[in-house]
Structure 1
Amino acid sequence: MLCGLASLEEIFRTEHGAVLQCSNKNCYWLEFAGDCTPFKVADFISFRKQVDTIAVDELLCAPTSSSDLTILMPFRSQRCFVLNVTEVVRLKELMQGAKFMMELPGVIKDCLKVSSLQSY
């Protein structure tokens, strides 16, 4: 459950979860698979990279039955994610969308700098 002191802003949401930012506690919250997980900023970025490295095509093509599940244990978190292939795809979509939205202000700022320099 989310902290009562949290001041949350939604970064990205899909029908399967959301990533929220808490300005008061300088952390991120991941809503996924019916649970909310808090992350310090560095831990969230590390977890996002961990999710990015999962090769869905290898999961689908692997001959063993144990490859149907992926286990993720985020650093400094009490939560363990045990995900099937569908859940992995949904989590990857959520994390990639959050990454895009987190980087978007910097991209816009860079574009505005370039366009203002070209107008001179």
Structure 2
Amino acid sequence: MICPLAHVEEVFKTAHGTVYQCSRKNCYWLEFQHTTTAFKISDFFLLKKRVDGMDIARMLADTSRAADFEIMMPHRTERCFILSVQDILNLKEILAGAKFMIELNSEIKKILRKDALLVI
């Protein structure tokens, strides 16, 4: 659950989850698999890197039961993700969309600052 005192803005949302940005705590909240987890900015991008590195092709090719799921415990959280191939694909989509929106927002702010300096 997101802290009721936090000021959050939706960054990206799919049918499977949402990423929020909290300006009060300077962090990102990931709502996924019916839970909400807070991440420091660096930990959020590390999570994305770890999820992107998961080998889905290996999971699909391996017929052992152990290959059906990937277990991941992100840094500095008490959360443990147990991810099927579909969960990994859904999480990749959420994290990729959030990263794109974060970078787009940063570029827009950069351009607006340049324009403001040109006006002065």
**Per-residue CA distance 1:47-75 (angstroms, 9 max, x = gap):** 11111111212211113211100011000
Q: Which amino acid is 1:9 matched to? A: E
Q: Does the alignment pair 1:11 with 2:36?
A: no
SS at match of 2:3: coil
Q: Does the alignment pair 1:49 with 2:49?
A: yes
Percentage identity across paired residues of the two chains = 48
More displaced stretch, 85-94 vs 100-109: 100-109
SS at match of 1:4: coil
Match of 1:104 in 2: 104
1:110 positional shift = 7.2
Distance, in Å, in 2 between the alignment partners of 1:8 and 1:53 is 28
Q: Which amino acid is 1:23 matched to? A: S
Match of 1:32 in 2: 32
Distance, in Å, in 1 between the alignment partners of 2:110 and 2:102 is 14
SS at match of 2:101: helix
Alpha-carbon RMSD:
1.8
Match of 1:115 in 2: none
The runs of 5 or more residues in structure 2 that have no matched partner are 113-120
Distance, in Å, in 2 between the alignment partners of 1:29 and 1:85 is 22
1:34 positional shift = 0.3
Match of 2:80 in 1: 80
Q: Does the alignment pair 1:94 with 2:109?
A: no
- For normalisation by structure 1, the TM-score amounts to 0.86
Distance, in Å, in 2 between the alignment partners of 1:106 and 1:23 is 14
Distance, in Å, in 2 between the alignment partners of 1:110 and 1:31 is 28
Q: Kindly tell me the number of residue pairs found equivalent between the two proteins.
A: 113
Distance 1:109 1:41, change over 3 A: closer
Distance 1:106 1:27, change over 3 A: closer
Distance, in Å, in 1 between the alignment partners of 2:75 and 2:94 is 19
Distance, in Å, in 2 between the alignment partners of 1:109 and 1:9 is 16
Distance 1:105 1:2, change over 3 A: closer
SS at match of 2:37: strand
More displaced stretch, 69-78 vs 51-60: 51-60
1:23 positional shift = 0.2
